[in-house]
Amino acid sequence: MVNLGNRRDAYPLIVNPGKPPTRLRRVPFTKNMFEEGWLQGLIETNPEVLPIAEIEPAFAPPVSIGREVETAAGFIDNLLLSPQGYLTIVETKLWRNPEARREVVGQIIDYAKDVSCWTFEELEGKVRDYNKQYRHSNLGILDALRKIELVDEGEEQIIVDTISRNLQYGRFLLLVVGDGIRESVEAMADFLQQTPQLHFTLALVELQVYELNAGNKPLLVIPQIVARTKEITRAVVRVEAKEIESIHVEVGPEITTKKPLGGRHIISEEAFFEALGQRVVSENVDFTHHMMKDMESRGCVIDWKQASFVVKFPDPGGSGQKLSLLVVPTDGNTYLRNELGEQLRSLSLPSQIANDLARDSAKLFSNCEVSNRYPASWSRPVSLKELRQQYGEFMSLVQKTIDRIREASSK
């Protein structure tokens, strides 16, 4: 199932003081101003135009590693990769093309099926071919990632292993990108029910194009997430038996079912715990799972980032703002952000609440105190092991902080 929502067209305005507002003219879907190659080129050179971080943080920031990539099912328009090792497959369509409304979702899922059969070495070959053709270089996957983020030698094998697992499980982000999404295309998302063995997320993204002035240059491009699927995972037990007396039971890879948008970004959660499990012992991984559930039971929410999650408490005053309580990165070194004090001030609530949390919780850990520069932060990160050993007292302080925020908000 997908979350479609109710969409209404709106037109951006350019407002200059003392002058009438200028209503921008949207380029009509049927106008032959662009070809699909234009969309592909836009995404290749400006992959950040896609709202990937809002769909699944693990897939951001995107790096272009392929265009017109050949598969057994056809050619992938754009292939992107995040520094964490997560692939995004993009199919571009100008919706004036009648076949787009009938075939596009099934087509991109066919691509995902084929890519899930690749090895890391095969993907590496595709990337090098792309760089030779379009960039006149022989760069591979890790070289491409180094252009936007430092990759230490110790991290290289972790990235390779992550990419290999994601290929094996079909853990991809599939984006159908066009200049106008039609409801008939949204309905085609039912195709995703046919691939329970793949762990992909599917999203439909509309790039609205507006003319800023006559002559069609420059252009304003506004991305909009029209619909996306949601993954719920479950473990499956596979039973293999050669003889009645000998039965082998193995917990196999998770199988996914697709649900409406809402709740956690499951792929980002998987990405986080895979990375965390490579850096800390299993006891601390289990502890992190427990802490997340404990925080949620107290009314907090988990905000997934590219390589961390942030425990946030929704403003009880109803502003919609979420107050940052604790950051947990994949390296297992947690910290408080001074942001909480700033957020409280913006809501006209006492920032001292944040300072007290930092001061009192710092006392729980050796060689830790309040930061000299930031009064709502610790002077050093606190490891998951340290946090686990002082967890009861730490959570008492978190609950006290939540209660104080509620009380101050009610006045």
Q: What does the alpha-carbon distance between residue 199 and residue 171 come to, in Å, rounded to a whole number?
A: 5
- The token pair at 313 is 């408490």
Q: What does the alpha-carbon distance between residue 95 and residue 135 come to, in Å, rounded to a whole number?
A: 29
Query: Residue type at 208?
Result: Q
Q: Is the previous residue joined to 61 through a cis bond, with omega within 30 degrees of 0?
A: yes
Residue 258: predicted pLDDT: 36
- The token pair at 213 is 């002035």
Q: Residue-wise pLDDT tens for the chain (411 aa)?
A: 444 444 455 677 888 888 888 788 777 655 556 677 888 999 999 999 999 988 888 898 899 999 999 999 999 999 999 988 999 999 998 766 555 555 788 889 899 999 999 999 999 999 999 999 888 888 899 988 887 777 767 678 888 998 999 999 899 999 988 876 655 555 555 555 556 567 788 888 888 888 877 665 788 888 888 776 654 333 333 444 344 344 343 434 443 333 333 333 457 788 889 889 989 999 999 999 999 999 999 999 999 887 889 999 999 999 999 999 999 999 999 999 899 999 999 999 999 999 999 999 999 999 999 999 999 999 999 999 999 999 999 999 999 999 999 999 998
Residue 86: predicted pLDDT: 92
Query: Residue type at 231?
Result: E
| Segment holding 341, helix H or strand E | helix 339-346
Handedness of CA 252, 257, 261, 262 (dihedral sign): negative
Give 46's DSSP letter. -
Q: What does the alpha-carbon distance between residue 56 and residue 306 come to, in Å, rounded to a whole number?
A: 9
Structural domain boundaries of the chain? 2-229, 279-410
How far is CA 306 from each of CA 85, 166, 214, 335, rounded to the nearest angstrom? 11, 16, 40, 16
- The token pair at 388 is 């686990």
- The token pair at 273 is 């715990």
Q: Which stretches of 212-360 are assigned E, i.e. beta strand?
A: 219-234, 237-243, 246-251, 255-259, 301-304, 308-314, 322-329, 333-334
Q: What does the alpha-carbon distance between residue 5 and residue 244 come to, in Å, rounded to a whole number?
A: 52
**Contact assessment for residue 141 and residue 124, using Cβ atoms and an 8 Å cutoff:** yes
With vertex at residue 319, the alpha carbon angle to CA 316 and CA 321, rounded to the nearest 5 degrees, is 85
The pTM for the full model equals 0.68
Residue 411: predicted pLDDT: 84
